[in-house]
Structure 1
Amino acid sequence: MLEKSRGARGLPLYSSKDHPHNSHWSFTRLPRRFTNLKNAIAGFVGLFLFIYYIFIPWATGPRLPPLYSEYHIRDLQLPQNNPNLSYPEGKDGRYIWIGNQCDGVGWGNYMQEFMLDAFVAYEAGWTNVFFNYTWNKQGGPYTKYGKGLIPSRIPLSALVQGPLVGDPWAEGDDTPRAVVKEYFDQICPKSETIKINPREVDENQPGNFPASVLVDKWIQKLATVQSRCVEVDKDELQMFSFWTFGKADVLLDVWPRYSRSPIITQFRWSNLIESAFTTNRHLFTEAHTPVYPYETIPGLLALHIRRGDYEDHCQKLATYGSVFNGFNSFPQFEDKFKVPVTDNESFKKNVYLKACFPSIRQIVEKVNQVRRTDEGKGLKDIFIMTNGRTDWVDELKTELRAAGKWGLIASSRDLTLNWEQKYIAQSVDMLIGQRAQVLVGNGFSSLTSNVVMFRMARDVPPNSNRFW
């Protein structure tokens, strides 16, 4: 189900219109003789932004959220943003801009969608066009959220690295590299761009086609296109909606091919996320494992516990009769959720709350149960992935220590993050969860779902993925 971001802990981006470096700044359009000028401009812009965002807010009032400008500049300077390159890139390449990706939802929801969209482009052999994680398409670069501001849009390259954001594919893979939206606008004028309505592919949208069938239908559709430029209509429903990600019988049939694709195998978190992991590693492990590759940290138990407005959300799930998200429902998992068949609404609500919004007592009971399993042997440290209030987290830590001998116990609230990392901190939690020996997550959460996806792709023991 859709999952809201947690205030200043999970987020959004900017378009070329409202960013200080809008589309006419695309450096790839400059002739070679202006290379030195390009570097000088980039240096000047960097200095200006440093002064503007560091010193001006300090002198004039509350500090504004970051806009991740250096990442936007990086995207504009990708070497494949060049029409003179030979096919399958350059002016003769085939480009697909999936303009209807979801917005106004949590990072977990956005992430699962843009990755599967990129898988379609990869399987079809087209150049994928990436944009920004978008909370608010309209208005300026900031959006009011709760009592503060958040970035309206965040460049994907501030969140992830790898082929998803234009880095090279593995050696020998001739799939065209991904490009940024501003370059697509240059290389694909509207007169040469064909719009595809997703209903042409899934006429019953939102339908119940298995994900692999829907992927193949998109590949077949793209094979019939008579233009080198495609835009998936931004005003229509998504290619893969929450109906796809919310049902195991719809989603999991694509897993064998998806999990082996470079969309998954070459995935890597951004330098911002990895550096936050390194800085805070002492909070949850005494092991000195390298940040990459993302190998398991022995002895680490990660708990994903949503609080705040999630209590109301969980009660709505009971009304809908919702099930665990698709990637939280692999048949090998021990913890499965069955929708209670009852007319007793109070009983039904409590079943959902235990799985979705567990109490401290229920959390401690589950932790003790997991520790007695084969997968739980040797667990000694805990990291709590949460948006809970500090006083609630402190109470949980106290109860966990009282119930068993633990070494380190830390939470999301204990992380030391710089100003840019603060607004993408959900991803720091996700990286820690990926590497835990055991994860106990929220089966209804897309954040848990994405962590489980990466863990299963690494062939961790299935029952090291547990749920409340």
Structure 2
Amino acid sequence: MALPLPACLGRKASYKIIVFGLLSFLVLSGFGYRTLHTQSPLEYLYPVDYTPPPAHIFDLGHPTFADIRQYERALPQHRMPTFLMKNRPRYVYFPNEAWGTGWNNVFQEQLLNTHLAYLSNRGYVFVDYIARDHPPFPDTLPDGTRHMLHIPMNALTSGPTGGGSLGQGADPKSVRAVSLEWWDAVCPSEQVVEVPVGETVQELNITDASAGEERLVRWAGKLRSIEAECVKVVGGSPFDYMFIGGDKVLSMWPSYGNSPTVKEYAWSALVTRAISRNFALLSSEALPPSLSPSLSRITTTPGAGNTSSPYPLAAFSPLRTSGPPIDGLMALHVRRGDYADHCKNLAGWGVDYNAWNTFGRPDMRATGRYPPLPDYLSVPGGVERYDASYRHCWPTAEQIVERVRAVRAVSESGESFPAQYLRAVYIATNGEAEWVNALAELLKRDGWETVSSSLDMGLAQDEFAVSQAVDMGVLTSAETFIGVGFSSLTSNVVQLRLGGGRHPDTNRFW
């Protein structure tokens, strides 16, 4: 029979047992937390190293983007929340973002909705871009079934809109963006609160006359006030592409232009790899660190591989728009193709420049609230507005050379910003090869050392699927940029250049 312990020893033993129990609980809880925190529900749907191969992707020759799918699934926010988390993440999904328009129209809306989600302390839900028409990738099988090309967000951007970091200065309550696949896994329909756009704009007293800043603040307040973790905005979008294309969107800039969405923007590793491999077209200088692959992740010499066997995407860090520009490069956006007729329509409608391109208007500059761009839709005396608009939209090859020469002189003068010694030109264009080559020859005759274009880019299949973003990666990285004021592509380049710290005067229009 055991002898009873002295009272003091019993108290000490009890104390030790309690402490041991608490420590055991914390250790086990911590272990449980780490286990749950690192286990994604997507891993129950798909093994980590497996991407379901839809037959139509192979039948139509579409790129699979398998490595990007795995990258998205492995994002750190794609982890199960646990009972130990003080604040469970909340999300907002916008299923009715612009569809059936060009990617840049869609992307304008996605960027603004990313910022709205940020102000609402919710994670933005990102989706694939479904390309309605994307030659040379066919979208119809022999039996007539249609399967359009699906491009994952992180084939285009790996910034905050694609689930990237919000940066050190972000609101501590902020939540990183998550994929639609994650939303479907953690937000079952019975837990989703739907917010109808029509009823909400009436509730918030938002009208066609409401400025962008007013809409933004009221929508953010509404979404913050909802306790549910999963919110779905249905029946439209807070900011559709018609609203974004006008000047009412501009009042958002003080908030939006300084947000993580724009400040922390980064092109995807896929875009970065494509620019890295084609860097010799843009500069005779050595490959900068921002475009250099990590030798620790490849088994061959520096570079970016080749078109048939490019280096793995894991070797590249997404190219940040806040990084240093490509020394000596002037980049041009020269829209052709469908703009042959569209420029006539735009000139006939008497519309202004698209969205952020209107910062140069005298009335916008006078407010002192916005980046003072040097150009706007000017109509010289004695010239009809239609004729002036058409020239700004569809300049001839000779007019392009003349404009490039004038902008180069300003850039090299050092009057508005440190002088740039511009030596190379890159032309982002969808023009016919014969016309583009003739323009390139005219520019060379005008004294440019190197002239290249979209047609010269050597792209792998998956890179070609995002060739527009590859062009934009170059446009945002150039020292000076000239674009089409009416274009949403140019508008996105301008906002990303401004957000990345490029001087306003390095953004020009035809």
Place the TM-score, normalised by the shorter chain, in its bin: 0.7 to 0.9
Structure 1 residues 113, 87: CA separation in 2 closer, same or farther (over 3 Å shift)?
A: farther
Q: Comparing 177-186 with 195-204, which one deviates more in the overlay?
A: 195-204
Residue aligning to 1:156: 153
**Contact (CA 8 Å) 2:41, 2:80: kept in 1 or not?**
no
% identity of equivalent residues: 31
Q: Supply the AA of the counterpart residue of 2:324.
A: E
Q: Secondary structure at the match of 1:268?
A: coil
- Say whether 1:337 aligns with 2:334: no
**Contact (CA 8 Å) 1:301, 1:436: kept in 2 or not?**
yes
Q: Secondary structure at the match of 1:105?
A: coil
Alignment of 1:368-387 (within 5 A): 368-374=405-411, 377-387=420-430
What is the CA–CA distance in structure 1 between the aligned matches of 2:147 and 2:456, rounded to whole Å? 21
What is the CA–CA distance in structure 2 between the aligned matches of 1:28 and 1:313, rounded to whole Å? 47
**Contact (CA 8 Å) 2:97, 2:110: kept in 1 or not?**
yes
- TM-superposed CA distance for 1:314, in Å, is 0.9
Residues 215-274 of structure 1, C-alpha deviation per residue, up to 9 Å, x if partnerless?
A: 1111111133243221111xx3321122332223x1222212212211112211111100
Select 2:65's aligned residue among 68, 71, 74: 68
- TM-superposed CA distance for 1:388, in Å, is 0.5
Q: Secondary structure at the match of 2:40?
A: helix
Alignment of 1:51-62 (within 5 A): none
**Contact (CA 8 Å) 1:297, 1:436: kept in 2 or not?**
yes
- TM-superposed CA distance for 1:82, in Å, is 3.4
Select 2:357's aligned residue among 310, 317, 328: 328
**Contact (CA 8 Å) 1:98, 1:129: kept in 2 or not?**
yes
Q: Supply the AA of the counterpart residue of 1:69.
A: A
Alignment of 1:159-308 (within 5 A): 159-171=156-168, 173-203=172-202, 207-233=208-234, 236-248=235-247, 250-288=248-286, 289-291=288-290, 292-293=319-320, 294-308=323-337
Structure 1 spans left out of the alignment, 5+ residues: 1-26, 58-62
- TM-superposed CA distance for 1:86, in Å, is 5.3
What is the CA–CA distance in structure 1 between the aligned matches of 2:380 and 2:150, rounded to whole Å? 40
Higher relative contact order (CA 8 A, sep 6+): 1
Residues 412-447 of structure 1, C-alpha deviation per residue, up to 9 Å, x if partnerless?
A: 000010000001011111111111121110001111
- Say whether 1:390 aligns with 2:433: yes
Structure 1 residues 410, 220: CA separation in 2 closer, same or farther (over 3 Å shift)?
A: same
Q: Supply the AA of the counterpart residue of 2:131.
A: W
What is the CA–CA distance in structure 2 between the aligned matches of 1:30 and 1:367, rounded to whole Å? 51
User: Under a length normalisation based on structure 1, what TM-score does the superposition of the two structures give?
Assistant: 0.80
Select 1:426's aligned residue among 457, 468, 476: 468
Structure 2 spans left out of the alignment, 5+ residues: 1-38, 141-145, 291-318, 360-364, 366-371, 414-419
Residue aligning to 2:131: 135
- TM-superposed CA distance for 1:466, in Å, is 0.8
Q: CA RMSD in A?
A: 3.2
Q: Comparing 222-231 with 102-111, which one deviates more in the overlay?
A: 222-231
Residue aligning to 2:10: none
What is the CA–CA distance in structure 2 between the aligned matches of 1:212 and 1:116, rounded to whole Å? 11
- TM-superposed CA distance for 1:93, in Å, is 3.1
Alignment of 1:29-44 (within 5 A): 29=41, 38-39=47-48, 42=49
What is the CA–CA distance in structure 1 between the aligned matches of 2:100 and 2:289, rounded to whole Å? 34
What is the CA–CA distance in structure 2 between the aligned matches of 1:267 and 1:69, rounded to whole Å? 23
- TM-superposed CA distance for 1:410, in Å, is 0.1
Q: Supply the AA of the counterpart residue of 2:215.
A: L
Residues 63-117 of structure 1, C-alpha deviation per residue, up to 9 Å, x if partnerless?
A: 6121323322333343433333358799x43221111111122221111110110
Structure 1 residues 431, 86: CA separation in 2 closer, same or farther (over 3 Å shift)?
A: farther
What is the CA–CA distance in structure 1 between the aligned matches of 2:86 and 2:271, rounded to whole Å? 30
Q: Comparing 174-183 with 124-133, which one deviates more in the overlay?
A: 174-183
Residue aligning to 2:307: none
Residue aligning to 1:8: none
Which protein has the larger Cα radius of gyration, Structure 1 or Structure 2?
A: 2
Q: Report the number of matched residues.
A: 413
Structure 1 residues 458, 223: CA separation in 2 closer, same or farther (over 3 Å shift)?
A: closer
Residue aligning to 1:399: 442
Structure 1 residues 373, 240: CA separation in 2 closer, same or farther (over 3 Å shift)?
A: same
Q: Secondary structure at the match of 1:28?
A: coil
- TM-superposed CA distance for 1:132, in Å, is 1.2
What is the CA–CA distance in structure 2 between the aligned matches of 1:89 and 1:187, rounded to whole Å? 18
Q: Supply the AA of the counterpart residue of 2:226.
A: V
Residues 14-63 of structure 1, C-alpha deviation per residue, up to 9 Å, x if partnerless?
A: xxxxxxxxxxxxx83378xx89x934xx25x58x79x997xx77xxxxx6
Q: Secondary structure at the match of 2:228?
A: coil
What is the CA–CA distance in structure 1 between the aligned matches of 2:98 and 2:393, rounded to whole Å? 24
Residue aligning to 1:415: 457
Residue aligning to 1:112: 108
Select 2:340's aligned residue among 311, 322, 329: 311
- TM-superposed CA distance for 1:349, in Å, is 3.6
Residues 322-344 of structure 1, C-alpha deviation per residue, up to 9 Å, x if partnerless?
A: 101121121322221047999x9
Q: Secondary structure at the match of 1:285?
A: coil
What is the CA–CA distance in structure 1 between the aligned matches of 2:276 and 2:91, rounded to whole Å? 37
Q: Supply the AA of the counterpart residue of 1:415.
A: M
Q: Secondary structure at the match of 1:237?
A: coil
Q: Secondary structure at the match of 1:333?
A: coil
Q: Supply the AA of the counterpart residue of 2:440.
A: K
Q: Secondary structure at the match of 1:161?
A: coil
What is the CA–CA distance in structure 2 between the aligned matches of 1:123 and 1:259, rounded to whole Å? 13
Q: Supply the AA of the counterpart residue of 1:279.
A: R
What is the CA–CA distance in structure 2 between the aligned matches of 1:132 and 1:209, rounded to whole Å? 30
Q: Secondary structure at the match of 2:480?
A: strand
**Contact (CA 8 Å) 1:322, 1:339: kept in 2 or not?**
no
Q: Secondary structure at the match of 1:327?
A: helix
**Contact (CA 8 Å) 1:88, 1:176: kept in 2 or not?**
no
What is the CA–CA distance in structure 2 between the aligned matches of 1:299 and 1:183, rounded to whole Å? 43
What is the CA–CA distance in structure 2 between the aligned matches of 1:451 and 1:85, rounded to whole Å? 40
What is the CA–CA distance in structure 1 between the aligned matches of 2:178 and 2:281, rounded to whole Å? 37
- Say whether 1:357 aligns with 2:358: no
Structure 1 residues 168, 440: CA separation in 2 closer, same or farther (over 3 Å shift)?
A: closer
Select 2:97's aligned residue among 86, 97, 101: 101
What is the CA–CA distance in structure 1 between the aligned matches of 2:464 and 2:160, rounded to whole Å? 25
